[in-house]
Structure 1
Amino acid sequence: MSVAPQQPSAVTAQDEVTGICQDLLRIDSSNYGDGSGPGERAAAEYVMASLTEVGLDPEYFESAPGRANVVVRLPGTDRARPALVLHGHLDVVPAQADEWQVDPFAGEERDGLLWGRGAVDMKDMDAMILAVVRQYAREGRRPARDVVIGMFADEEAGGVFGARWAVDNRPDLFEGATEAISEVGGFSVEIAGQRAYLLQTAEKGLAWLRLVADGRAGHGSQVNHDNAVTHVAAAVARIGQHAWPLALTPTVRRLLDGVAQLTGRRFDPEDPDGIDALVAELGTAARFVGATIRTTANPTQLGAGYKANVIPGRAEATVDLRYVPGHGQEALATIERLAGEHVRLEAIHRDIALEVPFEGDLVDAMVAAVQAEDPGALVLPYTLSAGTDNKSLSRLGIAGYGFAPLRLPADLDFAGMFHGVDERVPVEALTFGVRVLDRLLRTC
């Protein structure tokens, strides 16, 4: 693909990003995880139109009917350098409209914020990427190195029909790429009166597990010492009440050390109370960080029986296990022990943990781009308690970072809006983000 030099356009990425984000928010691309949602086709078609309008030649492909993905490569000024993948996902988790203050798919702007499902996860970043890429194409500019732009399906259900499918079936799309940028990082927090940006350099591994017990069915009035419901309930209680030990990775240690220096608090890796106090200094971001200092396992579903006076022969539960990088086998062994002899484990979905260095040319460029737009701000690494499509790209040896730059009001509960109600993003944060991304692509 080539981009012919053109005269600079009067329309800039900052001008466009709000409208693009609103357009994307108005497309219902809910992912229910069972194939019953609308799919990503409409959102992908919008992305295709946005890119082709400015002379680019993106590739559209579906891994299954309606599960649509879009990829385009921007040639860099130095094509001998390894390529960078800049990617987002087009699906969103479902929203219950009656729980929201606004229609979650109206893309409404209110009090300087855009409201809607996907405003922070992650159609905001999708819009920033599209706005910057469109400006580059209109002006005939090229990034410092090849950049592969990917907009994927199905991230909210593990990426099976999106990034994972593309990696397994179209690895040629990522030829020469060694690093990637996506969600969830680059957002600002306030620590002891100082603005800092959290750059994601790690994410926990996950295992969605089904607990299954087979017992003796019978009449509800009879004595039954092999009750499947009892077996599963006991396992769920043990797992839910288990106290997981501290497990501080290099990323977490570096973050907590940075918080300690800003606040004057002491960081002792062996002091749980002191660590909790440091995490609390992160304000609303403590929701993310507090879940990364140890493995977590939350029971999320229960199912058994069909009548009040019938003891069923089978009972089930599901557990969402999120383990600290380097502790996967240990975590699974613990769950198996807690489940007990009467309960077996079945894997629903599993994916790896990631941790990459907080150093190197790309990290330096991300830090410099933020500080150019927000002089004096600090940038600290952190671990994401959830997961991203960087897990899939890692199968190709691509090191992934979370960097969707947003300068946020200190009192905005950013972390609480992920998969929550009344999801919203400040318009000023979007325009800040496109300025940072523009600088980054010029220099990284």
Structure 2
Amino acid sequence: MVRMYFLTLYFLLGTFLLSAQNQAPCSDFNDSSNPAGNWHTAPYPNGMVGVNFGSPNSLDGSQYLILNDLSGSSWYINDKDYMYLGERFQGQCLYFDFYLEKDGGYGAPIHPRITLSNATQSITFVANITVTPGSGWVRIKAPIAACTGSTLPSNSDGTWTMDPSMTCADFNAVMFGSTTLSLSPDYTSSPSEVVMYDNICVKPCEGCNECNSNFKIQMTTSTSGGYTVGQIFLESTNSPSLYKVNWGDGTVGDVMTSHTYLNAGSYKVCVTQYEGDKPKCTTCVEICIPKPFQAGKTVNSTDLTSPLKDIADVAKGEIGVSSEIKDYTLVPNPAKNYVDVQTNLTKRGNVAIKIMDASGKILINTSENVENGRQSIKINTEKLIQGTYIVEIKSENKTSSQKLLISK
């Protein structure tokens, strides 16, 4: 009887511990006696951060965490609640609320972020949305998912990033074997930033079935050949390989591949987003292909937009005349570690190139003198995270803006 009693006790205790281990962590910083919970400054010398708590968070009216950047490395960590995140909660999302109070004189919009580590390496989720001091609270969800092939997990809120020296296997080792979740107010070299975090919680991904296959079409009509060439531009940080295009004339292709219409008429173009081998959602738009005598210019892509939210800064990169497309080409696109800007100038001249993110922030700014004819300028893109960028190219009195996809 005594042996049976202890066996039963051990079974119940083991069940309790397993249940506690699989309970989704959530840090809301609302405890009156210990609001920090298992959060604490990183070991010296990496914990140079001031910690305080305030209220209310306008998203839910609750207390929140305040982090002040001090001189040195500023990290605030939790090395208990978020261990083995990918192993325990794959398919769910890591949520967090973020507010920027002071930017340390950075002077440009900031992308909220959160960092996951194991014993040796780290990965960081970088939000698409940008904030400025006092712009308000934002709520962000990061997918708890594995890297597949060379594609890092992402969603409509942002993208996981890692050091260029890391591999997909390294990323998964961190995601599935995580030991520490980290926050930092350190965005500039000036130790005066103040950021706020709240509701750092693992839970099912709300809106996980949302359709983010928003797209635009650029159409170029040949006056001599009597045909129209269309190309899809996605407004998504997902890999283009997750999408297929039905051009409305019985042809299905990839989003980054041009399609030629030989006959005038009305067509329904649909972009379908896939999860695995199953369709997730579809977005469509009606287009009108002109007769040959109506041709002569590129159709304004703003008239050919899928019925989801418009992104003005991206849209400007998709409107251009056909002569500009011939003068400048981005290869490869999507790109990974580099992109070649291929030129075809009538005479020798200077070509200025800017690569900007969706907020208009200039990330790469360079120029080079090139000869006439077909030439190539190689741009290093290793430091750009996965996502969508605008490439502005200027030479003489010509300016071209084109979309560049970075796929890591």
The TM-score with structure 2 as length reference comes to 0.28
Q: Which fold has the larger relative contact order, with Cα–Cα distance below 8 Å and residues 6 or more apart in sequence?
A: 1
More helix by share: 1
More strand by share: 2
